[in-house]
Chain A
Amino acid sequence: MEMKKRIGFIERGCGFLKLKRDHLAKELSTSLEILKGRRKLLLNNLKEAYSALTAAYISLGPSEVDSQANSVKSALVLEVLPRSVMGVRYPYVKILSKPKVTADLDITLARASEKIFEILEELIQLAEFESRAERIADELGKTNRKVNALENTVIPNYKLVIKFIESKLDEESLEELVRMKRIGGALASRRK
């Protein structure tokens, strides 16, 4: 009875794990789609930023670009916080402060810096998203292994044990019945 209760519990758990697995798979495939799109967009933006920066360097010369870049005050400050989806923890990056341009940048460099600042945020978001997808994939793998282990090993083993116990109990009760019948027959013949 205890074993039956336990297997019922394990089967319910396996059902939940299957649900989790399906949800994670769905989440992962959506994440991968988004990731693919974002990566493509980021690559395009990176190309644009690089070409804007090249234009600035060619237009102003490296010393002037370096000098104007010196006017960028305060660094990028980030805070990494934990977040969770279906129990999967992933890092969430919060931008606390962005670099600030304090000089009168030349228009070519101003365009390049604008594009780079845009990319910076995209890059952080993409890294966050990639890490999320990676952790979901990892968790999906673990959940899948758990479901497989439960479905293919644990539950069948439990069933076998239960079956063995049941057949053993059936055998014993049959033996008991035969024994009782024999005792009953012997008592009846003695009374005669």
Chain B
Amino acid sequence: MNLDLSYVVIRTHARIADLLNHEQIQRLAESKDVEEFLERLSKTTYGQISNEGTEMVPVALEKAFYEKFLERILEIVDLTPHKMGDFLKIYYYLRFETLNLKRIIRGKFSGISPDENMASLVPINSYLIRSYKELTESVSVSEVVNHLKGTPYSGVASRLNLYEKYDIIWPLELALNQIFATSIFENAKALPRHDRQVIRNIVEFEADIENFLVAVKQRQGLRAEINFEEIFPVTYRISLDKLREVVETKDLKKVIESLDQKYVRVLSPIYEGDVALIRTGLRRHKYETVTSARASNEFGFNVIMAYLIYSEIEKDNLVGIAWGKAQGISPKNF
């Protein structure tokens, strides 16, 4: 085993113990309001999080949870050696950077102030661009896109004409999705064979599910300006033809049942129209995949991947609970 890797794995093992367990999450979800939620949270590794003087409590808490999550991934991802580290950087940093770029574009489109736009971003340092501040201070969407020229996001500029012609921003978002999906695809190919399996079961599965959800959305009317290859630049085990079938079929159930069983398990809530539950199923799938991979090898990359996935699930759960508490959703309904 590589020494660098073993160091990171040992550090990761220690950090897994810091994550909240199921009972703790359950107790947090059962809090009667935000105050009780914060009080219970203060007794965990998160410590005291103050919401005083904050108007938008759920947004402030979301930011705090993101910061904790990013702190965790920074500690691990930057230390992970070689191609694995490169892949994780793409998987996390590029993902959050494309998300931030979309938020900047939307902010410019709606005309919110640079400060508000900056505050809406995932609190991460810029990865492939110079600075977010420069972009948020641009005067228009076109200027933001022009700033991206000369970076790996320069492909977005090719869609600027659609934005200028129709006053729509989804072609720009689609271009960002394509850049992210293609980078993941290229970097996953470079991974060592024994590590590729766990990545495949998580990243590829996730991409397939997201592609499927996008295809379901397209059922309401495929946009004439784009073609299938543009919407789905990378597909894995749900092929482009299958996605086309999803868009065109009258019987979605039949298409889902023709997929692999693990896809059926995650996608079946769509029969009742519950698309949000698909994401919950996806998280469960990722959790189960990394847990079983970790059980099979306690000293490899699987442990790192498991920790990162657990951390992200924890962050998502806490964001959801905090929002629910701020909205006064009862523990029972939650």
User: Which residue of chain B is the closest to A52 with respect to CB atoms?
Assistant: B276
B255 within 8 A of A: no
Q: For A105, list chain B residues within 8 Å (CB).
A: 217
The answer to whether A58 and B62 have CB atoms under 8 Å apart is: no
The answer to whether A58 and B109 have CB atoms under 8 Å apart is: no
Out of B106, B174, B319, name the residue touching A61 (CB < 8 Å): B319
Q: For A58, list chain B residues within 8 Å (CB).
A: 276, 320, 323-324
Which chain A residues in 36-83 approach chain B with CB under 8 Å? 54-59, 61-64, 66-68, 70-73
B157 → chain A closest CB, angstroms: 18
Q: For A66, list chain B residues within 8 Å (CB).
A: 59, 120
Produce 1/0 per residue, B208-249, CB < 8 A to A.
000001101100000000000000000000000000000000
A1 within 8 A of B: no
A97 → chain B closest CB, angstroms: 13
Q: A62-B323, A104-B174 known; A70 and B107 CB under 8 Å? A: yes
Q: Which of A104, A108, A110 has most chain B Cβ within 10 Å?
A: A104
B56 within 8 A of A: yes
The answer to whether B170 and A103 have CB atoms under 8 Å apart is: yes
User: Which residue of chain A is the closest to B279 with respect to CB atoms?
Assistant: A59
Q: For B174, list chain A residues within 8 Å (CB).
A: 104
Q: For B59, list chain A residues within 8 Å (CB).
A: 62-63, 66
B110 within 8 A of A: yes
Q: A62-B56, A63-B59, A102-B169 known; A73 and B279 CB under 8 Å? A: no
Q: A61-B323, A62-B56, A107-B216 known; A67 and B169 CB under 8 Å? A: no
The answer to whether A57 and B323 have CB atoms under 8 Å apart is: yes
Q: A54-B327, A67-B103 known; A103 and B173 CB under 8 Å? A: yes
B55 within 8 A of A: no
The answer to whether B62 and A63 have CB atoms under 8 Å apart is: yes
A74 → chain B closest CB, angstroms: 9
Q: A68-B106, A70-B107 known; A103 and B169 CB under 8 Å? A: yes
Main secondary structure of the interface of B (DSSP, over half): helix
A135 within 8 A of B: no
The answer to whether A62 and B109 have CB atoms under 8 Å apart is: no
B274 within 8 A of A: yes
The answer to whether B58 and A62 have CB atoms under 8 Å apart is: yes
The answer to whether A71 and B62 have CB atoms under 8 Å apart is: no
CA distance in complex: A180, B120 (Å): 110
B168 within 8 A of A: yes
**Tier of interface size on chain A:** 20 to 34
Which chain A residues in 96-112 approach chain B with CB under 8 Å? 102-105, 107-108, 110-111
The answer to whether A67 and B120 have CB atoms under 8 Å apart is: yes
B10 within 8 A of A: no
Q: Which of A55, A57, A62 has most chain B Cβ within 10 Å?
A: A62
Produce 1/0 per residue, B167-205, CB < 8 A to A.
111100110010000000000000000000000000000
CA distance in complex: A105, B319 (Å): 20
A136 → chain B closest CB, angstroms: 38
A66 → chain B closest CB, angstroms: 7
Which chain B residues in 294-308 approach chain A with CB under 8 Å? none
B285 within 8 A of A: no
A44 → chain B closest CB, angstroms: 14
CA distance in complex: A108, B270 (Å): 11
Q: For A73, list chain B residues within 8 Å (CB).
A: 109-110, 167
Given contacts A72-B110, A107-B213, 5 further A-B contacts (CB under 8 A): A55-B274, A57-B320, A57-B323, A62-B323, A71-B170
> Could you list some 13 contacts between A and B, CB below 8 A?
A55-B276, A57-B320, A58-B276, A58-B320, A63-B62, A64-B99, A68-B106, A71-B109, A102-B169, A103-B106, A103-B173, A104-B177, A111-B273
B residues with CB within 8 A of A: 56, 58-59, 62-63, 99, 102-103, 106-107, 109-110, 112, 120, 122, 167-170, 173-174, 177, 213-214, 216-217, 273-276, 279, 316, 319-320, 323-324, 327, 329
Q: Which 7 A-B pairs have the closest CB atoms?
A: A55-B276, A70-B110, A104-B170, A58-B320, A102-B168, A70-B106, A67-B103
